Structures are given as structure tokens and as C-alpha cells.
Amino acid sequence: MTPLRSTLIRMNSSMNRWILIFAALAAMASAAKSDKKIVCYFGSWAVYRPGDGKFDISYIQPNLCTHLIYTFVGISEQGDIRVLDAWQDLPDNWGKDAFGRFNKLREQSPETKTLIAIGGWNEGSARYSAVVGNPTLRARFVQNAVDFVLKYNFDGFDLDWEYPNQRGGKPEDIQNFVLLTKEMKEAFQKHGLILSAAVAAAETSASLSYDIAQISKYLDFINIMAYDLHGAWEKQTGHNAPLYPRKGESGNDLKLNVDASVRYWLDSGCPPEKLILGVPFYGRAFTLADKSQTGLGAPAKGPGAAGPYTREGGMLGYNEICDFFKQGGWTVVRHEEHRTPYAYKGDQWFGYDDVISLTEKTKYINSLNLGGAMLWSIETDDFRGNCGEKYPLLKTLYAGLRGGVPVEPPKDPEGKPDPESTQRPTQPPVTAPPSGVCKKEGYVRDEKDCGVFYLCQNVNGVYQPQRFDCPGGLAFDPEINACNYKNLVPGCN
């Protein structure tokens, strides 16, 4: 062997080792990011909504969710599990078999896990307190939960008791809930089943209900409901899910934001990788007492008008909100401290989350190495694409936490997924913001692309731009500091 050839072989060998090292590092980084959970709750009653609000299980794109949770079933005084809508949920007596169709979504996305949730706000707390506080009934309930999950072919069970030691509960609920999670975990492990819970987020409520360090030992992941932090039960406007507090807040109000809630759970012993940050796909709405006072903390005289789909005063799905914006006349304000928007028109006011605020929340999740995001709920996203691309909020979460948006599987004429299709994530190219784009703090549109805009922030005297992209087909409208239809944005037709 010649010296030159020997040198080339050594060089190639060294290069190959470095290539393998870099590949391994890249794979590790990708794996770390892809471990983030996207937990999608589905409100099954949305099948009864009118018009464009009506939602069918077939509309779900399961490859956008790592976990899908069907809501809700209930509990009886004897610890049995109650199916709340047998005709909709079950196949018996010519029923619509929603459980079966929901679990069949895994054929399109085999990595997605499905769970059934018990409880919810309307179920209250008293029956859960009575059953879980009785060792015999608690054991019966645990076995019923295992049997139910196996019978209907779910991958796991989600506890949504709202809330221990509140709403008709008692102080012993706190430790009884620990016992429940411990006994359920032991029973579920035998079958490889998942156990999760939806919990109150803010310290003001969570401190009354949970021994956080103990339940964290037994739950596979914990969905903190970091929304409904303000709403029309108050006499002044407040944002549904602010990321950070704002000036002028004091006392408990300083705890009613996402950051304070997350840090309370972490400081109380919840491992960050088990903590799933809940985000709302809806807003909380108020009727203003004085049309001239339109900011946060403005006097309110009651809930905002009900939307055409959700038909609940004081609450608007994101699909309803984006439809309202299409009609025009709304003023949108992006609150710099809360990092979330609100809007008003006449005496109507609502605070909500959009693509921009959820992008910030995904960065927040990544910065604290939390386990992922949970959303309530999938059927109030713009699932029809009436305002642009389908599922803009869900795709924002996926892109921010898992590195790209999966391609929607093509469908054959019968509406079934194509088994030969791939669901490769598509990562958009990253381009640096142009130099000099920031002249002051706030939002600015890209001069060459109406669909691109930047958030300019003053960092140690230097303006730092952060790039954002509007969903497909939309343009950034500086008049409302939000994405809008191009034909409504001057200069972007």
C-alpha cells in the first residue's frame, strides 16, 4: 500500500467517523424534539353543532396529534363508568359507534394513541369524591376503567375530575386522588395502558386539589388546563390564557397566567417532561359596560354574545372568531405583556389565542423542556379552512414542537386514507430576517413577502427581530397586527 493511499484511507475513515458522529447528534436532537406530545381533546358533542360548526370524527387529521382524547364518559355512585351518549358512542341498536371510528383513526397514524376521558366540568365533583373516598368502590372503579379501555380498544384513560376538594368534594379528596392514581397505575401497567389526567393549572385552584409530587409519580403525563384564567364570571375584561402577568395586576391576579401556573407545578414536584401545557382553541368573551373603555380590566356587564356554532355566551371557538374577522369592523390589540391578543367591536370584547401567540407558547414549552402541548379542543380550530389553511392552530403547535407539519394523507374516492401515502414532515426553509428590518418595537411586515412578519424587541438597546409566517394564503395586516385575507390588506392583493 502506498503512503498516499494509506493517508487517504485514514482520512476517509476519520471523515466517516465524523459523519457518523454528526448524524448521531442530529438524530438525538431530532428525537428529543419529536418526543414532545401534542395532546388533542375532542368534544364529542360537536357532532350536533349547526352549519360549519358541525364536526365529524372523520375530519380529524390524526397525524397532527400524538394523543387523541375522546370526551367524556361519567361515573355512577357505585363506581361504574357511564356512557353519556350511547347512540352516538356505541354500535349497539344501530348506534353511530363513535368510539370505534375514533380508535380506527390509528390506521391512518399508527403512532397516535387514543384515550377516553372521564369527568369534565358538567360532571361536577361530588360523585367522584364519594367513590374515590370508599376503598371498595375505588377498587371497583379501577377495575371498571381497565375493563372499559380494553373492551372499546382505547390505549389509555384520562382522569378529568373537576376538582378534588372543590365543587362538592372534601379535604380527604387530595390524598384519595393520590391513592386512585397509584392503584390505577398498578392496574394499567399490567396491560401496557396509559394513565393521564387533566388538572387545574393556577395555584389558586391547584393548591386546593392536588399533592402534586405524589400524583406525578403515577400519572404518565399531566395536562394542565392553563386557560379560563379569566372570563365573564368576572366584572371586568380579562384574557383567557395570558402567557405572563401585566402591570397593574396584584394579589392572586399575578398568579392567573400561564407562566405562574407552570412554575407552580414545577416547583411543587412535577417533572417537566410530564407536564403538558394546555392551550385554548377558543376565547373568553365579555359585553362591555362602556364602549369607550375597551382595554384589559375594562368594566363588563356580562358574557359576550354566543357564537353561531358553540352557542354558549361568554365563549367563542377560534373558528367563530376568524369568521367574525372576515366580516370586518373588529379592532385587534396584541398585548405586549400578556403576549396574547384581544379584540373588540361595539360592546363585544374577547381575548383569545392565535398563530402568533401559540408560536410563542411553543417556544416557552421548549425553553422549559416541558413534555408538550395539550389543546382544548380540536373541533374549534378552523378545521374547515374557512379562513385559510385547515387547522392553523394545531399545525402551529406541531411545527413548533415537532419540527414540521405532516402532509395530510391523500384520500381515495371513498374517503379512506391511501395506505401507500407517507406522512413525511415538511420543514420550511429558515431564512434570516433582513438587516435593518426593525426601526422600533412591535410588529413589522416583510417588504417583499406579505405573508411574513417580524416581532421587534429591544434587547439591551438593540432591536432583535423574530420571524413569523401567516398561514397559507393570508397576509400580515399592520392595521390589526394579525394575519388577514390578502384582498383586505392594502398592497397585498
Judge contact between 374 and 279, C-beta under 8 A. Answer: yes
Cα distances (angstroms) measured from residue 13 to each of 7, 9, 19, 20, 22: 10, 6, 10, 11, 14
In whole angstroms, give the CA distance from residue 116 to residue 46.
16
- Helices marked H in 35-159 — which ranges? 86-89, 98-103, 126-132, 135-152
- CA angle at residue 488 from 479 to 437, to 5 degrees? 45
Q: How far apart are CA 386 and CA 52, in angstroms?
A: 9
Query: With contact defined as beta carbons under 8 Å apart, do 99 and 70 qualify?
Result: yes
- Rounded to the nearest 5 percent, the helix, strand and coil shares of the chain are 35, 25, 40
Q: How many CB atoms lie within 10 A of CB 366?
A: 15
Q: Are 186 and 179 in contact (CB under 8 A)?
A: no
Q: 410: Cβ–Cβ under 8 A, 6 or more apart, which residues? A: 417, 418, 421
Q: Is 379 a catalytic residue?
A: no
Closest CA to 270 of 195, 225, 211: 211
Contacting residues for 349 by C-beta, under 8 A, at least 6 apart: 237, 285, 286, 287, 288, 294, 298, 300, 304, 342, 343
Evaluate whether 127 touches 161 at the Cβ level (below 8 Å).
no
Inter-axis angle of helices 173-189 and 135-152, nearest 10: 40
Letter for the amino acid at 383? Answer: F
Q: Assess contact for 53 and 422: CB atoms under 8 A.
A: no
The 8-class DSSP code of residue 246 comes to -
DSSP state of 432: P
**Chain CA centroid to CA 360, Å:** 13
Indicate the length of the chain as a whole number. 493
Between CA 185 and CA 421, with CA 113 as vertex, the angle to 5 degrees is 160
Cell numbers found for residue 150: 380494553
- Catalytic entry in 162, 183, 320, 379: 162
* 219 touches 181 (CB < 8 A): yes
Of 172, 94, 99, which is closest to residue 138 (Cα–Cα)? 172
Gyration radius of the chain's alpha carbons: 24
Nearest to 257 by CA among 341, 337, 350, 162: 337
Give catalytic residues, as residue numbers.
162
